[in-house]
Amino acid sequence: MNVAFFSTKKYDQASFLTVNEGRHHLRFLEPHLTAETAALAKDSDAVCVFVNDTVDAEVLEELARLGVRFIALRCAGFNNVDLAAAARLGIGVGRVPAYSPYAVAEHTVALMLTLNRQIHRAYNRIREGNFSLDGLLGFDFHGRTVGLIGSGKIGAITAKILLGLGCQVIAYDPFPNAECTALGVEFVELDHLFRTAHIISLHCPLTPENHHLISSDALSKMRDGVMIINTSRGALIDTLAVIEALKSGRVGYLGLDVYEEEGDLFFEDLSDQIIADDIFTRLLTFPNVLITGHQAFFTRNALDNIAATTIANLTEFETSGRCANTPPVK
């Protein structure tokens, strides 16, 4: 198949060219997929997209007009794709349901530990010759209650790590994972998790039902000084509400690997530009906020697995017209 890759970086090209071995003709493009850039997919049978590409009805209609028959997502999430429109237009969709849950789980716990022991601040102090410990006081994770929202593969691995640290782990999930139950994770109602957990970590896909799950109302139920970690999707958190909660002290620590308006920021070098997003820049002013740029997935293992599954999805669709990794259409 002729495949146009959008939003590509050098590391994407390296991993996909290694795995592809000439099976498909791959064309790598730097721009995000949008209504304005969709024309770049001309003469392509498929497009390969990432988390910040726009694959709404307008884009899909243009892709269909160009003859594109398949959307290959090189990620697990599919909230940026209008699946109903794709089905109506006869365009297949495939995703990578699991690439390295360990990568995301380990990054999640790294954010927790870094925020708690303020490693990021200590690193900068030491480089300036400041060896004072004032303001760097942390707490023992042992005995703390951690609430996981979502108990899939990433949530289950995160639970294992936290249990190893001596935490009590509770979880909320409409479809509880039996593996977590076997580990000793207690499944509770969402309000109970909000009221009880010292640390709350998000491990669920973004859906219309859980948009801004962490809202002003949810924050009002939480412990003072709660730690919130999000390595899932940015729009699970109402950013303005969490800023107010940071100002009041209700949120004591915030670790983000995703941001609801990250599309114009993440994966790009903007170090010589003025960031126009005032909400994001406000987050950067808090000493108890730690942000990484959608980095949690970024391990060599994950990139190899993403490339292998994506190429397999393309090959399966080319040969059978179907893809086992098609997301469910609601």
Geometric angle at alpha carbon 216, from 212 and 218, rounded to 5°: 75
Q: What is the CATH number of the domain that holds 282?
A: 3.40.50.720
Domains contained in the chain, number: 2
Q: Which candidate, 104, 87, 114, places its Cα nearest to that of 51?
A: 104
Say whether both 209 and 272 belong to one domain.
yes
Is position 329 within any domain?
no
Say whether both 169 and 215 belong to one domain.
yes
Return the pLDDT at 307. Answer: 96
* Confidence label for 75 from pLDDT (cuts 50, 70 and 90): very high
Say whether both 264 and 142 belong to one domain.
yes
Residue 120 annotated to the active site: no
Catalytic residue among 69, 203, 250, 294: 294
Return the pLDDT at 330. Answer: 63
Helices (H) and strands (E) in the chain, counts: 12, 12
Q: At what angle do helices 300-320 and 10-20 cross, to 10 degrees?
A: 50
Say whether both 29 and 140 belong to one domain.
no
Say whether both 71 and 130 belong to one domain.
no
Say whether both 87 and 110 belong to one domain.
no
Say whether both 117 and 198 belong to one domain.
yes
Is position 325 within any domain?
no
Burial of residue 97 (number of CB atoms within 10 Å: 0-12, 13-18, 19+): middle
Say whether both 111 and 67 belong to one domain.
no
Say whether both 279 and 213 belong to one domain.
yes
249-272 pLDDT per residue, tens: 999 999 999 999 998 899 999 999
% of the chain at pLDDT higher than 70: 100
Say whether both 86 and 171 belong to one domain.
no
Give the number of C-alpha atoms closer than 13 A to the C-alpha of residue 91, restricted to the C-beta side: 31
Is position 22 within any domain?
yes
Mean pLDDT, the chain, rounded, equals: 96
In the block, residue with structure tokens 């694959």? 55
191-211 pLDDT per residue, tens: 999 999 999 999 999 999 999
CA distance 114 to 133: 15
Residue 294 annotated to the active site: yes
Tokens of 135: 């303001």
Say whether both 175 and 281 belong to one domain.
yes
CA distance 227 to 275: 26
CA distance 264 to 230: 19
Tokens of 193: 């998790």
DSSP conformation letters of 14-39: HHHHHHHTTSSEEEE--SPP-TTTGG
Catalytic residue among 69, 74, 233, 250: 233
Range of the domain at 119: 101-291
Say whether both 125 and 64 belong to one domain.
no
